[in-house]
Amino acid sequence: MADVVVDASALSAAASHVCAALPALAWDLRELDAGTLGDAEVADAISHVTAQRKARVAALAEIADITATYPIQVAAGFGQLEDHIVRSLQ
């Protein structure tokens, strides 16, 4: 069953809101080495956490990317349908 769109601009806004989450999902934090931390085991622990953080933001960015496409695709599909109807009426 196709979706029904009443307000296409609201869909565009929804997609934009999801896309706005993407910059937060870029890993831009400085790496901490054993010299800075003063201990190799602490450095290992933070390195493990960082690896998980990087993997997590990468996964969440994938999810955000795809989530944002839903309203865009629906709006585009609905737009094509509208054009088709207009052409049919003409």
Applying CB under 8 A, the residues found at the interface with other proteins are 1-7, 10-11, 13-18, 20-25, 29-30, 32, 35-42, 45-46, 48-49, 51-60, 62-67, 70-71, 73-74
Min dist. Cβ of residue 65 to other proteins (A): 7
What are the distances in angstroms from CA 90 to CA 11, 57, 78, 86, 87?
A: 27, 49, 18, 6, 5
Nearer to other proteins by Cβ, of 38 and 88: the residue is 38
Min dist. Cβ of residue 40 to other proteins (A): 5
Q: Which of 8, 27, 18 is nearest to 77 (CA)?
A: 8
Min dist. Cβ of residue 77 to other proteins (A): 9
- Which one-letter amino acid corresponds to residue 31? E
Tokens encoding 80: 């094509």
